Homo-oligomer: A and B are copies of this chain.
Amino acid sequence: MIGITSTPGAAGPERDDDLRYERVARCFRELIEHGTLRPGERLPSVRRCSEQQGVSVATVIQAYRCLENRGFLEARPQSGYYVSARRWAPPREPDKSAPSARPVRVSVSELAMEVIRSGRRSDLVKLGATLPNLEFYPVRQLNRTLAAAARRDPVGANLYEPPPGHLRLRQQVARRALEAGCSLTPDDIVITVGATEALSLALRAVASPGDTIAIESPCYFGILQMIESLGMRACEMPTFPREGICLDELRKRLRPCAIKACLFTPNFSNPLGSCMPDAKKEALVQLLSERGIPLIEDDIYGNLAFDGKRPKTAKSFDTEGWVVLCDSFTKTLSPGYRVGWLAPGRFRARVEHLKYVTTGASPTLPQMAVADFLQNGGYDHHLRRVRRAYARQMQEMSEAIGRHFPEGTRLTRPSGGMCLWVELPARTDSLELYRRALAEGISIAPGPLFSAKQRYRNFVRLSVAHPWTPRLEQAVMRLGQIAAAV
């Protein structure tokens, strides 16, 4: 079922409430899954349940909402919570990936640019792109914040902000990083032009042309293109669809493949949607730190956990500065503002220098605006809204795939982010599917984009970046029909 992965455990008394609501939610989930509570049946009232379970009313509400977000329950106004009528048997998950063990030169850019360019047509139903619909951004509020910042400090807004970037923004970023388990000071942070520049600077800071970078397999094509453009090699690592990188295989390959650095997305990776449990993140950081191998951590989806529990970053387990944490506000605040950042650990001086000679500085006003927006508290409210929306859309999309895609289709079960990784029957050619769908006005991201040597021919990435509509459902249905034919 979508969204049900084991929640990373967390110790400490401040988590007691969380544990309680999870216990209640798990209890009801099991009753639903085993058929004790059946579709359409009403759950005990919040007050009743609070008495039965010996927990507060607030805890029950939290548990019910969590189950609602995950699609188990439906709230009916003035009436209560009911078991969702459309519980369904989801398609099987894909297996652990099994990429080649050899480092290779990447050659994906041409295909990627073709897909990117063709996806810009405004008439398309965009099932593949991970750039959220603008209704999931606080567009007007952010613009107002920016205009106010310019009025308040017209001169400052025009000043050059040399690396590491605008101090108030770095302060806000450091403050928020606490939620992801990171103790960062403003001095630990360098502001960038989106996560793209953050990742690019990180790669250049820790490795040189010819060096080998370990990546997840499948891997976001933007990362593959970046490695290709920097003349580096990629070594694709076997990855579990729920928990990310296989640590055993990573350990085995570090030395024979001469891995210079790792670039992973532990939280809600693209395209798998996998989320590494905290203990595994800790083990990963330890494994790499012991060997002096830098880990570049891409965390752009970390704020989009469907259950609202912000997973920790690998960086939070980094005691020696080997983790370079990269993030941005592109997926959550504004794609057009292009505000990203990185916490480069021991590579700070080099990153700052590279930033200086690559773009000189980031534009000042967007930095001021994002700092104000974070400071004024609009961000958390906004995040809650979009997390719920993506959770619902993930559920709708997964069910639609279950209904409309060919027998034998497999599907990931992300607990956050906005990507779904779909394995079609082995005979399917996803490039042909991509072309035929495009001809009918539907864009998807074909599997070969997500590997250095264009494997994953029978896979596609779909995304939940757009609100679910009958038009989208129609497009998924049509895609399923084409998939059955190619």
Which A residues fall within an 8 A CB radius of B? 109, 113, 116, 120, 131, 134, 137, 139-140, 142-143, 146-147, 150-151, 154-162, 192-197, 200, 204, 208-209, 222, 225-226, 228-229, 231, 330, 334-339, 353-354, 356-366
Task: Enumerate chain B residues within 8 angstroms of A194, measured Cβ to Cβ.
Answer: 359-361
A140 to B231, CA, bound (A): 44
Q: Let me know if A365 and B362 touch, CB within 8 A.
A: no
Using A139-B154, A161-B336, A358-B200 as known contacts, say yes or no to A363 and B134 having CB atoms under 8 A apart.
no
Residues of B within 8 A of A335 (CB): 158-160
Inter-chain pairs besides A109-B357, A208-B231, 14 sampled, C-beta below 8 Å = A113-B356, A131-B160, A142-B158, A143-B151, A143-B158, A146-B365, A147-B150, A157-B336, A192-B359, A197-B358, A197-B360, A200-B357, A222-B357, A336-B364
The reply to whether A357 and B154 form a contact with Cβ atoms under 8 Å apart is no
Instruction: Report the Cα distance A453→B230, complex, angstroms.
Output: 27
Q: How many Å from the CB of A135 to the closest CB on chain B?
A: 9
Residues of chain B lying within 8 A (CB to CB) of residue A113: 353, 356
Question: Given contacts A146-B365, A147-B147, A363-B363, is CB(A357)–CB(B226) below 8 Å?
Answer: yes
Looking at the assembled complex, report how far the CB atom of A250 sits from the nearest CB atom of chain B, in whole angstroms: 25
- Give the residue of B151, B155, B197, B337 whose beta carbon is less than 8 angstroms from that of A359: B197
A134 to chain B, nearest CB (A): 5
A143: chain B residues at CB < 8 Å are 150-151, 154, 157-158
Which residues on B sit within 8 Å (CB–CB) of A160? 131, 330, 335-336
Contact B158 A139 (CB under 8 A): yes
Contact between chains at A229 and B365 (CB < 8 Å): no
In the assembly, what is the distance between CA of A156 and CA of B116, in Å? 19
